[in-house]
Amino acid sequence: MLKRYLDDAACTLWKDLFSNTCRVVVTGHLGPDGDAMGSSLALAFWLKSCGCQVSVVMPNLYPDFLSWLPGADEVINAQMDSSRAATLISQADVVLCADYGCYGRNESLDAMIANSQAEIVVIDHHLNPDIQARLLISDPSACATAEIVYALLEQLSDSSHPISYDMSVCIYCGMMTDTGGFTYNSSRPEIFYIISRLLEKGIDKDRIYRNVYYNNTVERMRLMGYILNNNMVYLPEYHTAYYTLNSQEMKKYLFKKGDAEGWVNLPLEIKDTRLSISLREDTDTHSIRLSLRSVDDFPCNRMAAEFFNGGGHLNAAGGTLYCSMEEAVIKVREAIAAYESLLTSSLVTGDGKENTR
């Protein structure tokens, strides 16, 4: 049912690389999300169970709503604890890059990894990985890196060395968060095969959902309402919505890192919306971070690369503009107008039949 990501040669290489007592650093991408964290932690649990000495190092802080994940309390934040991260990476036999395949979004960790003598293993589902890895496991058709991790562990596990409950929780969290709770990019039967196997491991998927998504503060809930009411611009002629979030608003509503996670999906709940864009001021870097989400075949990654110095997936992409919010909004309006034909071409209705409205 599932892909075998390791052929015989790769399987031998995996076993050589991750031999007993080898020192492994598992890393995720900047702004660790549920998939970066879930995949990294699941792999860390697995490698520990194989006898490896494993540390998980993230380039910066993970959001609060992931702190319940098994093993999250031992994750090292390279921004806060850079000397410890540098030491671990310089002494590592293997650095495993989970949920990213390119340098460039990983700040100081990039240099630490590039300068290290460690073998590099990449496990990722983003397009076009370019890190020079000894072993590259890349599958852009996977809904999450955690899906690849599950298939990999199923291939490597046996009855004396099973996939554990903690690994299962982490894998489910990765798959759930990268698909918006299985609402997009999640219609392949393999995904539900994996979920059924994880349920057999005893995971409580409803609790995992609540841990991640029912984790609001009152202020976050009010800010969400404020944005939808005051800042969201809906352009019916383009089936598109965008909204802004500036630093004064964040301050007023006690905004914390990660608080805006997932909100860009909300405008897609408006009937027939194809594209949603959020613009968020980042005072640290004097920039505007953009997130794009779409449905069907609208290419967020193309728009992000063309207009916002970014990239990503077909239905989820991001980018950064180094300008004022006002200028960023003008750029967003330009991008939307440039993609008019894709945004207004005939719609596909829920039953898959074409709607030529």
Taking the least distance from each CB to ligand 5GP, the nearer of 267 and 312 is 312
Distance CA 195, CA 201 (A): 10
Q: How far is the CB of 100 from ligand 5GP (least distance, A)?
A: 7
Of 93, 99, 259, 281, the one binding Mn ion by CB under 5 A: 99
- Contact between 118 and 92 under an 8 Å Cβ cutoff? The reply is yes
* 320 belongs to the binding site for ligand 5GP (CB under 6 A): yes
Question: Of ligand 5GP, Mn ion, none, which one sits near residue 312, judging by CB under 5 to 8 A according to partner kind?
Answer: ligand 5GP
Cα-based distances in Å from 133 to 120, 206, 300: 5, 37, 28
Residue from 205, 141, 142 nearest 176 by CA: 205
Largest CA distance in the chain: 62
Taking residues 263 to 292 in sequence order and writing x for each that binds ligand 5GP by CB under 6 A, - otherwise, the string is ----------------------------x-
What is the C-alpha separation between 243 and 64, in angstroms, rounded? 23
Report if residue 63 touches ligand 5GP, rule: CB under 6 A: no
Look at residue 13 and give its three-state secondary structure: helix
Choose from ligand 5GP, Mn ion, none: what does 99 bind? Cβ within 5-8 Å by kind.
Mn ion
CA pair distance 110, 298, nearest whole angstrom: 31
Residue nearest to Mn ion (CB): 35
320 contacts 284 by C-beta, under 8 angstroms: no
CA distance 257 to 292: 18
Chosen from Mn ion, ligand 5GP, none, partner binding at 273 (C-beta under 5 to 8 Å by type): none
Stretch that binds Mn ion, among 59-67, 76-84, 178-186, 217-225 (CB under 5 A): 178-186
Site string for ligand 5GP, 298-317 (x = CB under 6 A): ------------xxxx--xx
- Shortest gap between Cβ of 268 and ligand 5GP (angstroms)? 13
325, 283 Cβ separation under 8 angstroms:
no
Closest to ligand 5GP by CB, 170 or 317: 317
DSSP letter string, 78-143: TTTSHHHHHHHHHH-SEEEEES--SSSSSTHHHHHHHH--SEEEEEE-SSS--S--SEEEE-TTSS
The only residue of 178, 259, 261, 281 in contact with Mn ion, by rule CB under 5 A: 178
| Residue 291 interaction partner, one of ligand 5GP, Mn ion, none, beta carbon < 5-8 Å per kind | ligand 5GP
Closest by CA to 204, choosing from 157, 178, 177, 166, is 166
Residue 34 or 70: the one with the smaller Cβ distance to ligand 5GP is 34
CB nearer to Mn ion: pick between 52 and 318: 318
Q: Which option in ligand 5GP, Mn ion, none does residue 166 bind, with CB closer than 5 to 8 A by kind?
A: none
Q: Which residue has the tokens 């404020």?
A: 226
Whole-number minimum distance, CB 262 to ligand 5GP, in Å?
9
Residues in contact with ligand 5GP by CB under 6 A are 126, 291, 310-313, 316-320
